[in-house]
Chain A
Amino acid sequence: MTRRVLGVAAVVLAVLIFPRVAGTYPVKLLQEILIWGMFAMSLDFLMGYAGMVSFGHSAFFGVGGYVAALALVAWGPGVAAGLLLPAAAAALAALVIGFFSIRVSGVYFIMLTLAFSQMFYAVTFQVGWLGAEDGIVGVPRPRLAGVDLNGLTAFHVYVAAFALATVLVLWRIVRSPFGHVLRGIHDNEARMQAVGYAVDRYKLLAFVIAGTVAGVAGALYAQFVGSITPEAFLWRTSGEALLMVIIGGTGTLGGGLLGAAAFILLQSLVSSYTERWMLLLGLTFIVFVLFAPGGIVGALRGRIGLRA
């Protein structure tokens, strides 16, 4: 336990001092990893713990991003516009989409969530005041307690704080009575019903929690890039998060961050040599699914287990 706390503290410290020792590009890469890691962790919470494999998680990432972009452009750089409103909007979207989607499971759940996210894509792609295919550009970063987040280090600390908060909040939820109910639903939904759980309500709450975290990640992403496009809603956004979770390790939370790191590093390193980085990514994915179904975290645990 103390070793784990020390380990987490060491990682947090390393992330925080990273801007002191590294150049602008690596720092931005790390910020991107943290934001995508949050998004992937929210999906892992949904699929790894509640057993709901969604292929439409981009809907909430996109809603968070778009609402943040619209609000920050319209009302200036406030925290309410940059974070609270996007989080609330994503939660609401998850409530509505979840209400319909949790009625079905398995492939039908995947298809329904996918359809909802693609609807958002289709709408943002066409509606003029949402910028249509160009999206919304010139998104300012919020000011937080008088601190200008345009500076590299300030924004870095801001993103790192949210990533850490996501880890801590989801980690606690997973170990809470509610998290325990989700494990039961994942394991045997019918028996959960038979002993008296209103399973749909728990699933909906899990869906809303995951959607809200994804919305915050989307809002941070819009602030990071300074713009948001309909691509955020595209199935590829959901698919990439899914890949990150599987590469990192499903049902581990931390795997989302590691998977995001592997994915984004691979993308940035390989794409500077060849256009075919997707090919390498595909091969990586196949290797993981076949030989390390527990992902990076599972492989690491196996190592530690062998050593012990």
Chain B
Amino acid sequence: MTALLEVDRLTRYFGALGAVNGVTLAVERRERRAIIGPNGAGKTTLFNLITGHLAPSGGRVVFDGHPITGLPPHRVARHGLARSFQRTNLFSRLTVLENLRLAAAADGRGSYRLFGSVDRLTAPLARAREVADAVGLSERLDETVARLSYGEQRQLEVGVALATRPQLLLLDEPTAGMSPEETRRMTRLLAALGRDVTMLIIEHDMDVVFSLADRITVLHYGEVLVEGPPDAVRADARVYEVYLGTGDGA
């Protein structure tokens, strides 16, 4: 059985700068993989290349056996690959339930229906409630996004990605800007998600990384510096030097 996500020599230049420079990695089904690295290491760019938000300069991406290199974001998403964003990216005028329902209905089944109330589309509604529960927002279903606390918005950010029933969830700094308490809450939520959702997570908070990840990939200047289980990465002198040693986020 091949890996769920295979990234092969993926490269993206901005001018002469190789923001992502020949990155190769494979994420197995059911795995929880963290990507760490100093600011500017190319983590978010790597996500953007995988999800079709940026076109790669070279290399390829294979997901679940399908080549998805260069596909537009909505086609990548349809393959079962969902992402959350580093900067909260929600439907701000809609309620929590409506945000989740829209995402849950993104498979397009029934979305072209011109007549009949949206409330009669029961499958997305059920999924929306299920996900609201999973991200700890079941008490806040009818609140609009603007009325949520920052931490709750971040939970919804993950929820919107999760509602699409992805095989692979790409989380771009889910705890960015959170208080320690909010961070612990988010970590618990993520840890409680079923293993049927494979997870690829960019994270700066080392407590979060070490409590969630099975394996860690360290990026540095757009290249893979080290990859391995948490203990091996923690003990690696090169990692200490470029990342932990700088004091950045450690």
Which residues in A have some Cβ–Cβ distance to B below 8 Å? 172-173, 175-181, 183-184, 187-188, 190-199, 202, 205, 209
Contacts and interface: CB of A to CB of B under 8 A. Distances in A.
A101 B53 CA distance: 22
Contact of A195 (B72, B93, B103, B118): B103
Contact of A188 (B92, B101, B108, B161): B92
A178 B114 contact: yes
Contact of B161 (A177, A195, A209): A195
Contacts of A199: 74
Interface string B82-126: 110100011111100010011101111011111111100100000
B218 interface: no
A302 to B, nearest CB: 18
Contact of B77 (A176, A184, A187, A194): A194
B115 A173 contact: yes
Nearest to A190: B89
6 contacts: A178-B114, A184-B91, A190-B89, A192-B102, A195-B74, A197-B74
B113 A176 contact: yes
Chain B CB within 10 Å — which of A172, A192, A197, A205 has the most? A197
Contacts of A188: 89-92
B111 A191 contact: no
Given A188-B89, A191-B89, A197 B108 contact: yes
A178 B115 CA distance: 8
Interface residues of B, number: 38
B21 interface: no
B134 interface: no
Contacts of A176: 113-118
B106 A195 contact: yes
A185 B66 CA distance: 28
Contacts, number: 100
Contacts of A198: 74, 108
B164 interface: yes
A187 B99 CA distance: 10
A195 B116 contact: no
Nearest to B101: A180
A250 to B, nearest CB: 13
Interface in B103-162: 103, 105-108, 110-118, 121, 160-161
Nearest to B113: A177
A64 B230 CA distance: 67
A184 B111 CA distance: 12
Interface string B231-242: 000000000000
Interface of B: 51, 53, 72-74, 77-78, 82-83, 85, 89-94, 98, 101-103, 105-108, 110-118, 121, 160-161, 163-164
A178 B113 contact: yes
Given A178-B113, A194-B77, A198-B74, A187 B94 contact: yes
A150 B158 CA distance: 61
Given A184-B102, A194-B51, A197-B106, A172 B92 contact: no
What secondary structure prevails in chain B residues at the interface with A?
loop
Nearest to A191: B89
A175 B102 contact: no
A24 B74 CA distance: 55
B40 to A, nearest CB: 23
Contact of B116 (A177, A190, A196, A202): A177
Contacts of A180: 98, 101-102, 105, 118
Contacts of A193: 72-74, 77
Contacts of B115: 172-173, 176
Contacts of A192: 74, 102, 106
B164 A177 contact: no
B73 A177 contact: no
B113 A194 contact: no
A253 to B, nearest CB: 15
Given A176-B117, A177-B118, A196 B77 contact: yes
Contacts of B82: 194-196
Contacts of B117: 175-176
Contacts of A191: 85, 89-91, 160
Shortest 10 CB-CB distances between A and B: which pairs? A196-B77, A196-B106, A187-B91, A195-B106, A180-B118, A195-B103, A184-B102, A193-B73, A177-B113, A193-B74
B89 A178 contact: no
A188 B92 CA distance: 8
Nearest to A194: B73
Contacts of B91: 183-184, 187-188, 191
Nearest to A180: B118
Given A180-B102, A184-B94, A195-B77, 15 more contacts: A172-B114, A175-B117, A177-B110, A177-B111, A177-B113, A178-B111, A181-B111, A188-B89, A190-B89, A191-B89, A194-B73, A194-B85, A195-B74, A195-B160, A196-B78
Chain A CB within 10 Å — which of B74, B89, B163 has the most? B74
Contacts of B77: 193-196
A197 B77 CA distance: 9
A193 B77 CA distance: 8
